[in-house]
Amino acid sequence: MDDVYLGTQAAQAAPIFDVERVEVLKGPQGTLYGRNTTAGVVNVISARPTEEFEGRASAQAGSFGQQIYEVALSGPLASWARGRLSLRSNRDDGWQRSLPTGINGFGQTDIVSGRAQLEFDTSEASTLLLRGDYARSDGTSVLYPLTGLLQADLVTYCTPEGAAANLCFNSAGEQGIRDPRVGLSDVPSLRNEFEFRLGSATDTHDFGGATLTSITSVQSVDKLFEEDADAAAIALGFTVYTLSAEQFTQEVRLAGGDEIGVAWILGAYYFDENRSSSVAAPPFFATLADQESSSWAVFGRADYHLTPSVTATAGIRYTNDEKDISVITPGFMSEQRRSLEESSVTGTLGLSWEPSSDVLWYANVSTGYKAGGFNANFVFDPDTIGPVDAETITAYELGLRSAFWDGRIVINGAVFAYDYRDIKAVALDSTSVVSITRLISLGDADVIGFDGEVSFIPVDSARISIGIGLLDTELQSTTFQSTPFPPGLVQLDGNPLPMASDVSLNALAEYTFSLGGAGSLTAQVDGNWRSEFSFSATGSREATERSDGYGLVNARLRWRSADERYSLEGFVENLDDERYFTYNANIISDNAAGARPSRRS
């Protein structure tokens, strides 16, 4: 967010609003952009303070009592200073009901957030931007749908297909539920609360031939999350998670060069985080953990123009990571301490050819690295704490970006291959009476794929876009993972990666009708479809942990005034009320639990 790395998943739950743009880079980022990653980068750039006064406000009402309000004010405070204030409120009544108790309000959203920015011209060549972000949530967690795994005699296992069709029961005689808006939990309430604070200072100085940028940030997150993990009416799966994390980052970049010679960037990065967490199944047991993490890196990259149309790129980064953890499960395991220190050299090599201003061919090889870590979930065995080794990836990509007919036709595409090593995952171990999680290495994986999109503007009032993704993934693993249904061990070798559909499609079509002095009316239909996939590395062989292919269709109608100062929209998401799992896992020997989204409009 605004070039500041968000180090916890809890921080990533902070609302995104008053945004100027969102930058998305695919593939491993082993050279620039904060911390290393084996995946891509999503960088949310907030709208900045403006030289002239401006403001915007919006209100949205939707299903389940949804009310969303946003307001932003921006403008000059002096000839050398500017400010911007953004506020957002998002709440609803919840969309789920407990069948045993009749209590409504599960899955409730109640988030308030704000951002204040001050920008100063500290000299003719220097600018200082101060940002402060705050968000607070007082919502409730969702109820998980139950998938029974036993036949009506409550002893014999169902077939995986019968369980996936919700024709089976758990040991208490409760049948699986297909309706995502109800659940079986008898817990009166499940809290889902967090508080997020982020402060940053971005100082930029232009030396003429080079620009120095310093980004300093402090961040804190507090989270409380409750769930009924087994999805059953008997609340044996009631679990409470807490997290308190504080983070400091510092990044310094010096960039220079030009578009006809050499463009270059040099930098250094530092990250420090302290977090305390707990996971409890009251009143039986709890695991408490304190972790300290620090990382530093130096990096550089250069783009050298071999000819006016051919550019060579080279980048390199050295990263060092240190982590320490203290874990205790009172009554079951005494305090355990673990440490790790790792370092890695990653980078990129690339070549691009631009035969015309409308066509760009490129090829690159890049590497990525993600430091290892520890298991801080339920821990009863010191051997399950870890650490696990770092993930590494080498990516090969060949792509095309092009535009024709004055930009009315855009064709982009890329083929890629990944050599993915020491993939880490959280696995559920159900061999004991209590299901526990373990941080394990799945092994290696080979990944090949294609990603393409076509956008077409046949006339000024119409736009059509189509995207396709093709993916083939295969684990190369010696690991056997325990599973309660069917009971035993499952070999991971040859399985696809979790959440990896072979085919994914998306499409959008919109048309704008002119209303003359009354403005314009835009009708839009969009949708996406993905083929079947597994929720876990074992799911390809278990129907209860695999999702069939499904598609979603959305529709939107938007009126905009002639001066574009006012707009009014009506929309429906998931138009045909498609029901699908976003996650499902075999929790214990008699049932699986997962998550389904609601339909909102």
Q: Write the DSSP string, 492-538.
A: -TTPPPTT--SEEEEEEEEEEEE-GGG-EEEEEEEEEEE--EESSTT
CA dihedral of residues 434, 437, 443, 444 (deg, nearest 10): 140
In sequence order, the β-bridge partners of residue 69 are: 59, 89
Least reliable range by pLDDT among 162-176, 272-286, 331-345, 515-529: 162-176
Do residues 70 and 91 lie in contact, with contact meaning Cβ atoms separated by under 8 Å?
A: no
436-456 vs 104-106, strand pairing mode = unpaired
Query: Confidence band (pLDDT; 50, 70, 90) for 373?
Result: very high
Residue 159 CB-half CA count within 13 A: 3
The 3-state DSSP class for residue 543 equals helix
pTM: 0.91
Average pLDDT over the chain, rounded to whole?
A: 92
**Which pair of tokens denotes residue 410?**
């855009």
pLDDT at residue 312, as a whole number = 97
The 3-state DSSP class for residue 377 equals coil
Q: Is the pLDDT of residue 431 over 60?
A: no
Q: Is the pLDDT of residue 30 over 70?
A: yes
| More confident site: 426 or 232 | 232
Give percent above pLDDT 90 in the chain.
72
Distance CA 404, CA 422 (A): 43
Q: How many CB atoms lie within 10 A of CB 301?
A: 20
pLDDT at residue 601, as a whole number = 47
pLDDT at residue 540, as a whole number = 63
The 3-state DSSP class for residue 102 equals coil
Q: Is the pLDDT of residue 435 over 70?
A: no
Q: DSSP alpha helices (H): ranges in 138-228?
A: 160-164
Do residues 304 and 312 lie in contact, with contact meaning Cβ atoms separated by under 8 Å?
A: yes
What phi-psi label fits residue 107: left (phi over 0), alpha (psi between -120 and 50 degrees) or beta? left
Do residues 104 and 154 lie in contact, with contact meaning Cβ atoms separated by under 8 Å?
A: no
What residue has token string 């030009």? 258
Give the pLDDT confidence of 38-77 residue by residue, as tens digits.
888 899 999 999 999 999 999 999 999 999 999 999 999 9
Do residues 442 and 539 lie in contact, with contact meaning Cβ atoms separated by under 8 Å?
A: no
Give the pLDDT confidence of 98-157 residue by residue, as tens digits.
999 999 999 999 999 999 999 999 999 999 999 999 999 999 999 998 888 899 999 998
Mean pLDDT of 451-460: 96
pLDDT at residue 429, as a whole number = 66
Query: Confidence band (pLDDT; 50, 70, 90) for 352?
Result: very high
Distance CA 90, CA 103 (A): 22
| More confident site: 361 or 434 | 361
Distance CA 451, CA 454 (A): 11
Least reliable range by pLDDT among 232-241, 318-327, 588-597: 588-597
Do residues 28 and 366 lie in contact, with contact meaning Cβ atoms separated by under 8 Å?
A: yes
- In the chain, what is the straight-line distance between the N-terminal and C-terminal CA atoms, in Å? 28
**Which pair of tokens denotes residue 105?**
């309000």
Distances (CA, A) of 193 to 13, 138, 387, 476, 595: 11, 5, 29, 39, 19
